[in-house]
A and B are shown apart, each in its own frame.
Chain A
Amino acid sequence: MDMNQYLDIFMEESKEHLQGMNAILLKLENAPKDLALLNEIFRVAHTLKGMSGTMGFNNILHLTHEMENVLDDLRNGKMEINTNVIDILFECFDQLDNYVSKIETSSSEGEMISGELINKLNKLISSPEKSNMSVEDNKTEHNPEKNTVEVSEYVGKVIKIANEKGLNAFSLTITLDSKCMLKSARAYIIISSLEKVSEIINSNPSIEEIEDEKFDLTFQLIVVTELDHKEIEKELNSISDIESVEIVNLESDTISVDENSIDLAEDEVAATQEATVLNFNVANATNEDNSNNNKKAKSTKTVRVDIDRLDNLMNLVSELIIIKTRLEETDKTEDKQSMNEATEQLERITTSLHDAVMKVRMVPIERTFNRFPRMVRDLSRDLGKEISLIMLGAETEVDRTVIDEIGDPLIHLIRNSIDHGIEETSERISLNKDKVGKVKLNAYPDGNSVVIEVEDDGKGIDIEKVKLKAINKNIITMQQSQAMEDNHIVQLIFAPGFSTADKISDISGRGVGLDVVKTKIESLGGTVEVDSVRNKGSKFIIRLPLTLAIIQALLIYVGEEKYAIPLNNIKEITTITTDSIRKIQGNEVVLFRNTTLPILRLSKLLDVPNTEENLCSESPVVIVKKGDKTAGILVDGLIGQQEIVIKSLGKFLNNTAGIAGATILGNGSVALIVDTNSFL
């Protein structure tokens, strides 16, 4: 079956699950006794296992399976939750994350690289005093997990113990009806109903293969249960599509015989998978199968939408249709009054429609925030600093595109805060600060934008140091530095090639940091600022537009062509007389409010044909800004401010310099959006 159509859903959900598991494990680390949390991780891991099995991602399946075994032992109290276990589990999550991202880029999970991890997990389980106990516990708890792949001696041991405890062990050979449509689903029903009344200790082929439908019609299970022969039979008879069931009672003295028969069956079923005995081998074997599943098809982006929002959208569209009919009618009557009313109503609906569509694209920023607790935990261990992370406003909604893009800049800022901002513990104590450093992440909507703040209570930014460094690195001159206010100097840390860290650490401080953050945020149409008080801490304030698809723009004329300039790039609009333009070293400038303002002619930048230079008259100038830089763009005429929908120029022309995109004007023609940033 072609699974590609489900790939998107798989990606989306597995990411969610992984994030969920990370979050819960973090909580668990702080409250190791909380069984509910453990159960939750277990449940999520199980879902993930099922999903990856269905999709044929065997590496993920195996890793989660081994994880489950460990989690199960934890749950049943056979193993203590300690840092070692938690670390290994986190490693597993990272590995799973790796697989998932590989699937996202190449549609295949790639080579199996989790062998070592699986060994580690197995080592956790197989400490000898524990394995005996584990068998008993499993039975009494009736837990829904399957300890499927185990050494046959182990199976024997389990049966022996079971018999000693007065439990029955059965070998069930189940043959499905040859007309059965969904074999794996049917087998799953059988297995899950057996799991309710018994413990499945072995299966042939393995549960994973059964779930993958890698069996003919027959499969064999070994179960340990309190029920007797008849009751088991009754249990299975209640399930349809079963052709026959052969139930053999296993006594500890007959086991050796039965073991042989299992091995025989194995040989018949699949020569390649003879080694159900060792996990590792199985993992390798299935990996080969997996290479066949490698398909092209990259996944696309999806958004989960609240059905209410879609309903709302639908309602608006129906209103739109009503208005259309109304307009058609008024056209005939030529009644100006009702025409106006209709247009007004139309305007109202389009505004609400815009709003509704925007809301459909919005996702809570929680998705980005969720990965931070884990990161902060790792960082604080690496650096030996105690950090508490406070996250506020995770429910704040932002555009889906922003969610994907904002993660990296935020990670960078948080790392910065922890690495450079928060002092060493000893220093904090001597400064009379709480020895636990605080990093606060706060998101909130503010008018038409979203604000995200990253705040720490560390040492703050040393203004003098920044000043010196900026002069050393030729970012500003000595004279400039004297004229600048402190607030402006702090912002210099965003300049390219700036880094104040004395020692270069792995975490940050390679000098490529904050300017990248700034560029990224600006490319999203946002701004970033820093606020810092010496020894009290610093605060980075990111401001992002609510949506990227619709912006306010100024429409202008150049020659006969119309262009749009995004309003958030515009500082102000003024007029100058063209004869006040002076040429300095080949560049045109004017004196504007006592500063020199470079003048750019849009007609030249965009090679607009048929433009005549009108010499004496006044010309409108749009003053645009990029960071601290400004320039005046000389245009031929202003049309006005308008809300425009940004359209891509398409793959073919996407990288055209100076053009950020296109929009469709009221008359149906296309106007290009000028990327003023590229001119500065």
Chain B
Amino acid sequence: MINLSNNNDINKQYVIFSVENEYYGVNIHYVETIEKVSTITRVPRAPYYVKGVINLRGEVVSVIDLRKRFNLPSTEITDENRIIILSVEEMVIGILVDNSSEVLSIDKDLIDSTSNLANSSEDDYISGIGKVDDRMIILLDVSKIFDLKAS
């Protein structure tokens, strides 16, 4: 997989995207590509938060709707929407987000842990809160988003 010489740098970089006006980040280490939304085929009997599958250059890739995963209201898909293709533990999965435009470098000491937040079951996919300028960025623990037990 990705193995760049400057490991420190890469660990600090996050792909930033938004869902329902909230900013989220995933470590760039997991991100394969960012795609525009093509036809998504619904998969019957799949977990509720699975939007469907897409054809990613000949491979069939599952897409998770982050709005549904976070229990947010669904919206129509627009030109702004993106699918971020992640590779986690030998699985390739896409996440559908409202839009995605930047990559930010967030230092470790600018990341707050979530332990001082109220411990609801909802936030266990959050690995920390990053602060960049005046923005709060919710950093996601990617493997937890896909955790079937969480549904």
Contact = CB atoms under 8 A, between A and B. Distances in A.
B87 to A, nearest CB: 11
A672 B43 contact: yes
Interface string A644-680: 0001111111001111001010001111100000000
A656 B60 CA distance: 14
B61 interface: yes
B18 to A, nearest CB: 24
Interface in B67-95: 90-93
A670 B45 contact: no
B55 A653 contact: no
Given A652-B93, A653-B43, A670-B41, A647 B62 contact: no
Contact of A650 (B41, B42, B93): B93
B59 interface: yes
A648 B55 CA distance: 12
Q: Chain B contact residues: over half helix, strand or loop, or mixed?
A: strand
Contacts of B46: 653, 656
Contacts of B62: 649-650, 652-653
Contacts of A671: 41
Contact of B91 (A605, A606, A650, A656): A650
A608 B52 CA distance: 13
Contacts of B58: 664
A607 interface: yes
Nearest to A657: B45
Contacts of B50: 653
B45 A656 contact: yes
Interface string A189-219: 0000000000000000000000000000000
Contacts of B43: 649, 653, 656, 659, 672
A243 interface: no
A570 B132 CA distance: 59
A561 interface: yes
B8 to A, nearest CB: 25
Nearest to A665: B55
A652 B60 contact: no
A662 B44 contact: no
> What class of interface size applies to chain A in its complex with B?
20 to 34
B52 to A, nearest CB: 8
A668 B146 CA distance: 26
B53 interface: yes
Contacts of A652: 62, 91, 93, 146
B54 interface: yes
A651 B91 contact: yes
B45 A659 contact: yes
Contacts of A669: 38-39, 41, 55
Contacts of A647: 59-60
A668 B91 contact: no
Contacts of A672: 41, 43-44, 53
A93 to B, nearest CB: 34
A561 B39 CA distance: 12
Contacts of A670: 39, 41, 52-55, 60
A659 B44 contact: yes
B44 A607 contact: yes
A608 B44 contact: yes
Contacts of B52: 670
A45 B42 CA distance: 55
Contacts of B53: 649-650, 653, 662, 670, 672
B44 A651 contact: no
Contacts of A607: 44-45
B44 to A, nearest CB: 4
Interface in B88-116: 90-93
A655 to B, nearest CB: 10
Nearest to A650: B62
B39 A668 contact: yes
A658 to B, nearest CB: 6
Given A659-B45, A670-B55, A664 B90 contact: no
A12 to B, nearest CB: 22
A650 B60 contact: yes
A609 to B, nearest CB: 8
A163 B64 CA distance: 81
A670 B55 CA distance: 6
A657 B45 CA distance: 7
Contacts of B55: 664, 668-670
Contacts of B91: 650-652
Contacts of B54: 670
Given A649-B53, A650-B61, A670-B55, A561 B45 contact: no
Contacts of A656: 43-46
Nearest to B54: A670
Instruction: Please list the 9 inter-chain residue pairs (A to B) with the smallest Cβ-Cβ separation, ordered nearest first.
Output: A606-B44, A670-B41, A669-B39, A662-B60, A647-B60, A651-B91, A652-B62, A653-B62, A664-B55
Given A647-B60, A651-B91, 4 more contacts: A651-B90, A662-B60, A670-B53, A672-B41
14 contacts: A607-B45, A650-B53, A650-B92, A650-B93, A652-B91, A652-B146, A653-B50, A653-B53, A656-B45, A659-B43, A664-B55, A668-B39, A669-B39, A670-B41
